[in-house]
Structure 1
Amino acid sequence: MSVVPLQALPIEQLRQRSSTKWRKYGDDVLPFFVAETDYPAAPAITAVLTRAVSLGDTGYTPPDPGVATAYAGFAARRFGWQIDPARVRTTCDVMMAIVEVLRHAIRPGDRVVVTPPVYPPFFECVPEAGGVVERVPLVDLGTSWELDLAGIEAALAGGARAVLLCNPHNPTGTVHSRETLAALADIAARFDAVVISDEIHAPLTNRGATFTPFLDASPVAARVGYAVVSASKAFNLAGLKCALIVTADDATSKIVRSLPDEVEWRTGHFGALAAVAAFSEESDPWLDAQLAALDENRVLLADLLAEHVPAARYRIPDAGFLAWVDLSALGWGDNPAVKIRREAAVAFHLGPYFGDEGKGHVRINFGCSPDLLAEAVRRVGSLV
């Protein structure tokens, strides 16, 4: 049975929001930079938060808010992944979770592999945890990207102690295969290193792709890995602050249990309530409708670019609502988003923030209405 795509809210209503996407720039600028979507909240989330506000239920997060059990059910339904809720802890957000795990997995000064172009905070969280970033860029195959396993192996052989994985990858939307993830786990095990997998975009994997949780890629991956997940990207809950650290082995579970209680206290109460609602079976139809809308938009963007910005190079992503677009052929410099914002009043994310591989690129958030996306690309096209 076909799924009716979710409809984005009208821009007049969106401009009443007070989040970063709608307040960083003036009303003349169309915002496509930060990873916030324009859809109405899932009904189950609206209901649970409305009830909490009406009750004045705004206190501390309880010891077991039910998020671990809810996520275990979600992972089983959506990914076929069986996890033990007892091996899950919550915290404030994904980046904080990564920092806390890294602090216990490496020693000060140890090198940590990142795979650019990649989510900009990766470059910041490693030194926050006491580590040093070691860049091993993705391999560009011309039609897709993949991990440079040989490069990662060389980095670990040279003394790097951890790999910070983006799975699915931001900004390219790459969904790493089970075989690639298992091979990465084998390499990490060979050098007694760990893999921390940021899987925040996993619920947004398109129907044509198959997401493999890193911890489920192989028995070795379960032993060497940590997964960090959240409902925040798929359900637009970034401001509510709730993420989960998942393990699948006694040794890694022991490390996560040893994290200070304060790590768990940082979980937002509203974030926990919303996450339970998001991960419930009741929210599955809403998520499916959003995926249908994103599937249409990722293809629409290709058509729009071909018509209005034919020199742009864009590969339709396997997951997420973020498009990685190469505009270097236009000659607009290393950071074309600056020209586009100033001259076309469209705000895309700055490509160089994702690493040197992002020069000449922009990242476009297509989690919006088709009309808004079309207007943005037409504005860019007027500069060509």
Structure 2
Amino acid sequence: MTFPRPRPSVPGEAFDPLSVLSLDELRRRTSVKWRAYPEDVLPLWVAELDVPLAEPVARALTEAVALGDTGYPAGTGYAEALAAFAAARWGWRPAVEHTALVPDVMLGITEVLKLVTGPGDAVVVNPPVYPPFHAFVRHLGRRIVEAPLGADLRLDHDVLEEAFVRATEGGRPAAYLLCSPHNPTGTVHTRAELERVAESAEAHGVRVVADEIHAPLVLPGAEHVPYLSVRGAERGFALLSASKAWNLAGLKAALAVAGPEAAGDLARMPEEVGHGASHLGAIAHTAALRYGGEWLDALLVGLDRNRLLLGELVDRRLPGVRHRAPQGTYLAWLDCRGLGLGDDPAAVFLERGRVALGSGPDFGTGGAGHARLNLGTSPEVLTEAVRRMAGAL
């Protein structure tokens, strides 16, 4: 199918980052999203956005390259930018002195887990969940204790409580790796839910490590609550980055933030951990947080439109699929068990429909019969992808 070039914004018309680049332009990209599959496949799998760089980010990078400013990162500009952004968006200002530069969110999580657990200790996760949670934790030599989400795709506090008990048997240290907002379901945890998490974790001596990489991507009708802003979270940690919201995964830089009673632990993180972050990455993320708010707001409008469009398309073309519109992220979790496609419907949609989705079983318990779809594309690509998926049936 030939796609028309999306029309860029014009004076008087709202700018939509998702409707700027044509499919031909996107296929010139060399990142994994566009190189993992043949050109006849529409890639809606990995979490990359089909957007141009935000102008403030592009300008900051261009100026750095023009200056030859491509050395090692230094200073606290990134942490200061995050603090200002968090204060403006979420009413929470993380302390810059309780912040550490890390290469990316998952490597930062690994380093924080090293601070509060040892080999063989348990890390609690909520499947179905981002597959690297399992991979990185196991590679670190920690054991996984699962606390699956409830049927409503929200935290099940009774199950979580039981997991905390199992994780700390024998008085061993344990951590809880919280995905907030949750990937792949798009669930945004409420303040009441997070306060209950903090209370339970503190009662059992479990250290909470919150992955908040999707925090800027909360859609209308929901509100991101930073874990470290809730009552009882003083011994917790959070990992944040501009990478998902501004499509900066290839520009490595993230921040680990400690609650006030965890600052001493974070201070034990080796200095060399921060050396893994890219200086250009820190420049890009800082520019995004300081000057990319207008671009982000336009993206959120487009993502809200796309989640509504997907709901309409699924109802009309894929009535056997159950789907809850995500509250956050740009990811949709599709329950395809009613289609009779087996444990991995993404494999069927790829083979028969030439659409690449995230494979449900990769997300662990609760993932069989499901697929994850990336909404961060143009309405035209999204519409064609659902058309192909329907044709695959």
TM-score normalized by the length of structure 1 = 0.95
In the TM superposition, what are the counterparts of 1:326-341 in structure 2 within 5 Å? 326-341=335-350
Q: Distance in 2 between matches of 1:130 and 1:23?
A: 32
The partner residue of 1:228 within 239, 253, 261 is 239
Amino acid corresponding to residue 223 of structure 2 in structure 1:
T
The partner residue of 1:267 within 277, 289, 293 is 277
Q: Does structure 1 residue 87 correspond to structure 2 residue 98?
A: yes
Q: Which residue of 2 aligns with 1:211?
A: 224
In the TM superposition, what are the counterparts of 1:237-248 in structure 2 within 5 Å? 237-248=248-259
Q: Does structure 1 residue 39 correspond to structure 2 residue 51?
A: yes
Q: Does structure 1 residue 157 correspond to structure 2 residue 192?
A: no
Cα distance per residue 1:220-249 (max 9 Å; x no partner): 11x221000110000000011101001121
Q: Distance in 2 between matches of 1:197 and 1:108?
A: 20
Q: Is the 8 A contact 1:326 1:360 kept in 2?
A: yes
The partner residue of 1:181 within 185, 194, 197 is 194
Structure 1 residue 308, shift from structure 2 partner: 1.1
The partner residue of 1:311 within 310, 317, 320 is 320
Q: Is the 8 A contact 2:350 2:356 kept in 1?
A: yes
Shift of the 209–3 alpha-carbon distance from structure 1 to 2, 3 Å rule, reads: farther
Give the count of matched residue pairs: 376
Q: Distance in 1 between matches of 2:76 and 2:113?
A: 25
Q: Does structure 1 residue 383 correspond to structure 2 residue 377?
A: no
Structure 1 residue 8, shift from structure 2 partner: 4.0
Query: Where has structure 1 moved over 6 Å in runs of 4 or more?
Result: none
Q: Is the 8 A contact 1:196 1:225 kept in 2?
A: yes
Q: Does structure 1 residue 197 correspond to structure 2 residue 206?
A: no
Q: Is the 8 A contact 2:128 2:367 kept in 1?
A: yes
Q: Distance in 1 between matches of 2:263 and 2:131?
A: 28
Shift of the 339–383 alpha-carbon distance from structure 1 to 2, 3 Å rule, reads: same
The partner residue of 2:183 within 166, 170, 191 is 170
Q: Is the 8 A contact 2:348 2:392 kept in 1?
A: no
Q: Distance in 2 between matches of 1:159 and 1:14?
A: 45
Amino acid corresponding to residue 27 of structure 1 in structure 2:
E
Amino acid corresponding to residue 251 of structure 2 in structure 1:
L
Q: Is the 8 A contact 2:149 2:156 kept in 1?
A: yes
Structure 1 residue 150, shift from structure 2 partner: 1.4
Q: Distance in 1 between matches of 2:78 and 2:278?
A: 12
Q: Which residue of 1 aligns with 2:9?
A: none
Q: Does structure 1 residue 368 correspond to structure 2 residue 377?
A: yes
SS in 1 for 2:178: strand
Q: Structure 2: where are the runs of 5+ without partners?
A: 1-12, 169-173
The partner residue of 1:17 within 29, 51, 57 is 29
Q: Is the 8 A contact 1:188 1:195 kept in 2?
A: yes
Q: Distance in 1 between matches of 2:145 and 2:14?
A: 43
Q: Is the 8 A contact 2:235 2:258 kept in 1?
A: no
Q: Which residue of 1 aligns with 2:358?
A: 349
Q: Is the 8 A contact 1:193 1:224 kept in 2?
A: no
Moved more, 336-345 or 285-294: 336-345
Amino acid corresponding to residue 51 of structure 1 in structure 2:
E
Q: Is the 8 A contact 2:123 2:167 kept in 1?
A: no
Q: Distance in 2 between matches of 1:4 and 1:268?
A: 30
Q: Is the 8 A contact 1:173 1:318 kept in 2?
A: yes
Amino acid corresponding to residue 121 of structure 1 in structure 2:
P
Q: Distance in 2 between matches of 1:21 and 1:273?
A: 24
Q: What is the Cα-based RMSD across aligned positions, in Å?
A: 1.4
SS in 2 for 1:204: coil
Moved more, 192-201 or 146-155: 146-155
Amino acid corresponding to residue 203 of structure 1 in structure 2:
P
Q: Does structure 1 residue 53 correspond to structure 2 residue 62?
A: no
Structure 1 residue 3, shift from structure 2 partner: 5.8
Q: Distance in 2 between matches of 1:329 and 1:355?
A: 19
Cα distance per residue 1:77-103 (max 9 Å; x no partner): 111112211111111111101111111
Q: Does structure 1 residue 302 correspond to structure 2 residue 314?
A: no
The partner residue of 1:28 within 20, 33, 40 is 40
Q: Distance in 2 between matches of 1:44 and 1:346?
A: 33
Q: Does structure 1 residue 78 correspond to structure 2 residue 86?
A: no
